[in-house]
């Protein structure tokens, strides 16, 4: 809560400016975020660039190339799936 409003400052009763989502629900914001990642991944594949992924079974990050090859971070060998 603000006790006084100074010139060129705003006072928000609840939260702050970073909490504002312009009326978009959390679910919609999450959906839009996931869709933006999907689009970015598709663009990277079209350009022939790797996509960063995480293998939950081995708890390791890897780069997945458009040909399906995986290159684990910190590992010089690669594998195919």
Q: For 6-21, how does the pLDDT look when each residue is reduced to its tens digit (9 = 90+)? A: 555 554 455 555 566 6
Find the domain containing 62 and state its range: 49-81
Q: Is 17 helix (H, G, I), strand (E, B) or coil?
A: helix
Based on its alpha-carbon atoms, the radius of gyration of the chain, rounded to whole angstroms, reads 21
Residue 39: inside a domain: no
With respect to residue 43, please indicate whether it lies within any of the assigned structural domains: no
Q: Is 12 among the domain residues?
A: no
Question: What is the rounded average pLDDT of the residues 33-48?
Answer: 95
Domain count of the fold of the chain: 1
pLDDT at residue 23 is higher than 90: no
Query: 3-class SS at 33?
Result: helix
Q: Which two tokens mark 59?
A: 């708890």
> What pTM was computed for the model?
0.57
Q: How confident is the model at residue 3 (pLDDT cuts 50, 70, 90)?
A: very low
* Residue 13 located in a structural domain: no
The answer as to whether 63 is a domain residue is yes
């Amino acid at each position: 809560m603000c006790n006084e409003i100074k010139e060129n400052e705003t006072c928000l009763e609840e939260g702050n400016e970073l909490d504002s989502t312009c009326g978009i629900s959390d679910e919609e914001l999450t959906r839009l975020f996931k869709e933006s990642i999907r689009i970015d991944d598709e663009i990277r594949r079209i350009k022939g660039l790797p996509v960063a992924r995480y293998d939950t079974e081995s708890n390791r990050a890897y780069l997945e190339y458009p040909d399906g090859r995986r290159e684990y971070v910190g590992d010089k060998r690669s594998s195919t799936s």
